[in-house]
């Protein structure tokens, strides 16, 4: 397989999910309008309809009240450790009083006012409503769906992936990335023939969605060979004197035996995700691991895009290994990104050349003209 025909295993846009939009809310508004229209079409009398509507509202608000009461029965034993001894904080945590209490008061008053005396006392209606709601709680039917939990976690930034991405950025990337190009320049001056393409003077960060990481890249792919280490960065950090940060430079051999050079390493937090999926105490399934790996990539990409000091110093390489065993899968993934960067540099160089409309081009030169729109589109992760 020639290097020109190789493409990544999957387009990155198909691998990494985007942030959820507001379509669920729009669907709710649409269904609300349809239900209101259906009630209008039925032509039922207003008073019985209002009575049934308020009874449903009362049932729902009663369910919220009962659920909060059940949670409060546990939380009162954790007042000191969780709520600094404040009963009001525990109460507010169990009951969303600012809205549900008002709704319960209004709906309850309306329900009592519309009750036409069907021969059954009000206490019986409330008892039956409470019984139904408690059965729902006991059977676990009130629990949010997997989608709701995922959406709440993403919106509140409480996923494991968010913490890992921010820790990786603050504790490592924000320190080392601004120094990458300087290290590349120093190495290039000493070895002018190795790092020929400035566009590849970045730290290439591998993000395997399987979270399967090799400590030795040479064992992952025989076309990848360790060359040397770039200049070390030494800092005193978190009580450690002269902590060393460094990157390794590798030689990548393509199908035509041509050698490419780049600084490449795995995103180390993925090892934590993999270890969690192997530990029974973490209760972390393989499906959870895949979802968190994708969210880790998306979060890290968003963080780095907003970091001015890291602009142009990195390239994220996310990939999903194919089911078939390919001995050179990893080197091909890296090479595709290196070649894309080389084409970008070539296109930028050509675009900066002066254009002379009076110059006559031969047929050979015309055949060499490459339209930018015809080039493979880069999977850029550095702000473009």
Q: Which CATH number covers residue 304?
A: 3.40.50.12100
Query: What's the predicted TM-score (pTM) here?
Result: 0.68
In the three-class reduction of DSSP (H, G, I as helix; E, B as strand; rest coil), residue 154 is classed as helix
Contact 197, 342 (CB under 8 A): yes
Report whether pLDDT(304) > 60: yes
Does residue 151 lie in a domain region? no
- 272 shares its domain with 221: yes
Report whether pLDDT(380) > 60: no
Q: Averaged over 269-297, what is the pLDDT?
A: 87
Question: Residue 331's closest CA among 379, 269, 260?
Answer: 260
Does residue 384 lie in a domain region? no
Q: Count of domains in the chain?
A: 2
Q: Which residue has the tokens 């691998």?
A: 15
> What is the DSSP code string of 223-235?
TEEEEEEPPPEEE
- 211 shares its domain with 324: yes
Report whether pLDDT(314) > 80: yes
Lowest mean pLDDT among 92-101, 287-296, 335-344, 349-358: 349-358
- CA-CA distance, 307 to 165, in Å (whole number)? 13
Confidence band (pLDDT; 50, 70, 90) for 98? low
More confident residue, 128 or 335: 335
Does residue 21 lie in a domain region? no
- 238 shares its domain with 299: yes
- 297 shares its domain with 272: yes
- CA-CA distance, 88 to 93, in Å (whole number)? 8
- CA-CA distance, 109 to 54, in Å (whole number)? 9
- 207 shares its domain with 318: yes
Report whether pLDDT(351) > 60: no
Q: Averaged over 125-129, what is the pLDDT?
A: 73
Query: What's residue 313's pLDDT?
Result: 93
Q: Averaged over 299-326, what is the pLDDT?
A: 87
Q: Averaged over 243-265, what is the pLDDT?
A: 91
Query: What's residue 65's pLDDT?
Result: 82
Confidence band (pLDDT; 50, 70, 90) for 88? confident
Query: What's residue 299's pLDDT?
Result: 92
φ, ψ dihedrals at 226, nearest 5°: -70, 135
Does residue 39 lie in a domain region? no
Most confident of 105-119, 122-136, 238-252, 310-324: 238-252
Does residue 149 lie in a domain region? no
* Burial state string for 27-57 with b = 16 or more CB within 10 A and e = fewer than 16: eeeeeeeeeeeeeeeeeeeeeeeebeebbeb
- CA-CA distance, 290 to 301, in Å (whole number)? 17
Q: Averaged over 21-40, what is the pLDDT?
A: 82
Confidence band (pLDDT; 50, 70, 90) for 170? very high
Beta bridge partners of 232: none
Specify the DSSP class assigned to residue 313: S
Token readout for 166 is 């921010």
Report whether pLDDT(264) > 90: yes
Task: State which residues form the domain around 113.
Answer: 44-143
- 241 shares its domain with 344: yes
Report whether pLDDT(305) > 60: yes
- CA-CA distance, 56 to 372, in Å (whole number)? 62
Query: What's residue 355's pLDDT?
Result: 39
**Measured CA distances, 85 to 68, 70, 76, 91, 94 (Å):** 19, 19, 9, 12, 15
Q: Which residue has the tokens 């009240």?
A: 65
Average pLDDT, the chain: 77
Confidence band (pLDDT; 50, 70, 90) for 378? very low
Q: Averaged over 102-113, what is the pLDDT?
A: 68
Show which of 108, 143, 178 is a domain's final residue. 143
Radius of gyration of the chain measured on its C-alpha atoms: 31
Lowest mean pLDDT among 89-103, 246-260, 357-371: 357-371
- 58 shares its domain with 118: yes
Q: What count of Cα atoms within 13 Å lies in the side-chain half-sphere of residue 104?
A: 16
Show which of 143, 168, 191 is a domain's final residue. 143
More confident residue, 298 or 153: 298
Confidence band (pLDDT; 50, 70, 90) for 118? low
Does residue 313 lie in a domain region? yes
Show which of 84, 108, 143 is a domain's final residue. 143
């Amino acid at each position: 397989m020639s290097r020109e025909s190789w493409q990544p295993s999957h387009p990155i846009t198909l691998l990494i999910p985007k942030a959820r939009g507001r379509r669920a809310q729009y669907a709710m508004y649409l269904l609300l309008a349809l239900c209101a229209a259906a009630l209008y079409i039925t032509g039922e009398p207003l008073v019985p309809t209002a009575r049934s509507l308020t009874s449903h509202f009362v049932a729902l608000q009663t369910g919220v009240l009962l659920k909060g009461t059940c949670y409060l029965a546990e939380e009162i034993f954790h007042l000191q450790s969780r709520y600094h001894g404040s009963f009001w904080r525990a109460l507010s945590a169990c009951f969303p009083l600012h809205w549900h209490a008002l709704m319960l008061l209004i709906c309850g008053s309306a329900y009592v006012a519309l009750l036409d005396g069907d021969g059954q006392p009000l206490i019986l209606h409330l008892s039956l409503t409470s019984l139904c709601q408690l059965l729902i709680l006991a059977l676990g039917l009130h629990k949010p769906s997997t989608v709701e939990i995922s959406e709440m976690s993403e919106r509140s930034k409480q996923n494991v992936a968010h913490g890992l991405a921010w820790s990786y950025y603050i504790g490592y990337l924000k320190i080392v990335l601004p120094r990458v190009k300087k290290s590349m320049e120093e190495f290039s001056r000493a070895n002018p023939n190795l790092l020929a393409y400035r566009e590849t003077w970045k730290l290439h960060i591998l993000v395997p969605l399987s979270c399967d990481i090799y400590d030795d890249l040479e064992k992952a792919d025989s076309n990848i060979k360790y060359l040397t280490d770039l200049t070390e960065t030494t800092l005193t950090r978190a009580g450690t004197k002269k902590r060393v940060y460094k990157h390794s430079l590798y030689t990548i051999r393509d199908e035509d035996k041509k050698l490419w050079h780049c600084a490449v390493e795995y995103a180390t937090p993925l090892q934590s995700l993999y270890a969690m999926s192997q530990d029974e105490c973490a209760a972390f399934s393989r499906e959870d691991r895949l979802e968190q790996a994708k969210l880790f990539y998306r979060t890290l990409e968003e963080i780095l895009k907003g970091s001015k000091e890291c602009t142009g110093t990195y390239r994220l390489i996310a990939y999903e290994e194919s089911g078939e065993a390919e001995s050179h899968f990893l080197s091909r993934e890296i090479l595709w990104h290196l070649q894309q960067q080389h084409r970008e540099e070539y296109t930028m160089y050509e675009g900066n050349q002066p254009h002379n409309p009076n110059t006559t081009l031969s047929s050979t030169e015309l055949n060499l003209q490459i339209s930018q729109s015809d080039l493979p589109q880069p999977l850029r992760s550095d702000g473009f």
